[in-house]
Chain A
Amino acid sequence: MINASLVELRRALDARQISSVELATLFLDRIAALNPQLNAFITVDRDGALTAARDADARIAAGQAGALTGIPLAHKDLFCTEGVLTTCASKMLANFVSPYDAHVVSLLKAAGAVSLGKTNMDEFAMGSSNESSFYGPSKNPWDPSRVPGGSSGGSAAAVAARLTPIATGSDTGGSVRQPAAFCGITGIKPSYGLVSRYGMVAFASSLDQGGAFGASAEDCALLLGAMTGFDERDSTSLERPVEDYAAALAAPASAKPLEGLRIGLPREFFGEGMADEVRAAVEAALEQYRALGATTVEVSLPNAKLAIPAYYVIAPAECSSNLSRFDGVRYGHRAAEYGDLADMYSRSRAEGFGDEVKRRILVGTYVLSHGYYDAYYLQAQRLRRLIAQDFQAALAQCDVIAGPTTPTTAWALGAMADDPVQMYLSDIYTIAVNLAGLPGLSHPCGFGAGSLPIGLQLVGDYFSESRLMNTAHRFQQATDWHQRRPACAQ
Chain B
Amino acid sequence: MSLSTEQVGHLARLARLALTDAGIEATRAKLDDIFGLIEQMQAVDTKGVEPMSHPQELATRLRADAVTEADRRDAFQRIAPQTEAGLYLVPKVIE
A305 to B60, CA, bound (A): 32
Query: B46 to A376, Cβ gap below 8 A?
Result: no
Query: B91 to A344, Cβ gap below 8 A?
Result: yes
Query: Residue B50 contacts which of A344, A358, A365, A385 (CB distance < 8 angstroms)?
Result: A385
B38 within 8 Å of A (CB atoms): yes
A144 within 8 Å of B (CB atoms): no
A381 within 8 Å of B (CB atoms): yes
Residues of the A chain whose Cβ atoms lie less than 8 Å from the Cβ of B12: 362
Residues of the B chain whose Cβ atoms lie less than 8 Å from the Cβ of A353: 17
Q: Which chain B residues (1-30) contact chain A, with CB distance < 8 Å? A: 3, 8, 11-19, 23, 27, 30
Size of the B side of the interface (Cβ < 8 Å), in residues, is: 51
A358 to B24, CA, bound (A): 11
**Interface size grouping (class) on chain A:** 35 or more
B79 within 8 Å of A (CB atoms): yes
Residues of the A chain whose Cβ atoms lie less than 8 Å from the Cβ of B86: none
Smallest CB-CB separation from A368: which chain B residue? B14
A71 to B81, CA, bound (A): 37
Residues of the B chain whose Cβ atoms lie less than 8 Å from the Cβ of A383: 41, 44, 46
Chain B min CB distance to A436 (Å): 6
Residues of the B chain whose Cβ atoms lie less than 8 Å from the Cβ of A334: 81-82
A365-B14, A436-B55 given; A313·B41 CB < 8 A: yes
Main secondary structure of the interface of B (DSSP, over half): loop
A330-B76, A363-B31, A382-B52 given; A342·B17 CB < 8 A: no
A343-B18, A382-B46 given; A306·B79 CB < 8 A: no
A331 to B78, CA, bound (A): 9
Smallest CB-CB separation from A326: which chain B residue? B16
Query: A329 to B81, Cβ gap below 8 A?
Result: yes
B67 within 8 Å of A (CB atoms): no
Chain A min CB distance to B15 (Å): 4
A350 within 8 Å of B (CB atoms): yes
Query: B34 to A385, Cβ gap below 8 A?
Result: no
A411 within 8 Å of B (CB atoms): no
Q: Which chain B residues (35-58) contact chain A, with CB distance < 8 Å? A: 35-42, 44, 46, 49-56, 58
Query: B91 to A346, Cβ gap below 8 A?
Result: no
Residues of the A chain whose Cβ atoms lie less than 8 Å from the Cβ of B55: 191-193, 206, 388, 436-438, 462
Query: B56 to A236, Cβ gap below 8 A?
Result: yes
A235-B60, A362-B12, A388-B55 given; A308·B37 CB < 8 A: yes
A353 to B51, CA, bound (A): 31
A371 within 8 Å of B (CB atoms): no
A312-B37, A341-B91 given; A331·B18 CB < 8 A: no
Residues of the B chain whose Cβ atoms lie less than 8 Å from the Cβ of A380: 41
Query: B90 to A341, Cβ gap below 8 A?
Result: yes
A235-B60, A366-B11, A385-B52 given; A359·B27 CB < 8 A: yes
A358-B17, A362-B12 given; A340·B46 CB < 8 A: no
Smallest CB-CB separation from B47: which chain A residue? A382
Residues of the B chain whose Cβ atoms lie less than 8 Å from the Cβ of A355: 27
Main secondary structure of the interface of A (DSSP, over half): helix
Residue among B8, B55, B80, B81 with max Cβ neighbours from chain A (10 Å): B55
User: Contact string, B55-95, partner A, CB cutoff 8 A, digits 1/0?
Assistant: 11010110100000000100110111110000010110100
Query: Residue A344 contacts which of B3, B36, B90 (CB distance < 8 angstroms)?
Result: B90
A420 to B38, CA, bound (A): 13
Q: Which chain A residues (378-395) contact chain B, with CB distance < 8 Å? A: 378-386, 388
Q: Which chain A residues (434-469) contact chain B, with CB distance < 8 Å? A: 436-438, 462
Chain B min CB distance to A268 (Å): 15
A65 to B79, CA, bound (A): 35
A-B contacts besides A99-B78, A381-B52, 5 pairs, CB < 8 Å: A192-B55, A342-B16, A382-B51, A385-B51, A462-B56
26 A-B residue pairs with Cβ-Cβ distance under 8 Å, sorted by A, are A96-B79, A191-B55, A192-B55, A308-B37, A312-B38, A328-B81, A329-B90, A331-B79, A343-B18, A349-B15, A349-B16, A350-B19, A358-B19, A359-B27, A359-B30, A361-B17, A362-B31, A363-B31, A363-B34, A363-B38, A369-B11, A380-B41, A382-B50, A385-B50, A385-B51, A462-B55
Interface residues, chain A, CB within 8 Å of chain B?
95-97, 99, 191-193, 206, 232, 235-236, 238, 303, 305-306, 308-310, 312-313, 320, 324, 327-334, 338-347, 349-350, 353, 355, 358-359, 361-363, 365-367, 369, 375-376, 378-386, 388, 419-421, 424-425, 436-438, 462
What 6 A-B pairs have minimum CB-CB distances, sorted nearest first?
A: A437-B55, A381-B51, A382-B46, A334-B81, A346-B18, A385-B52
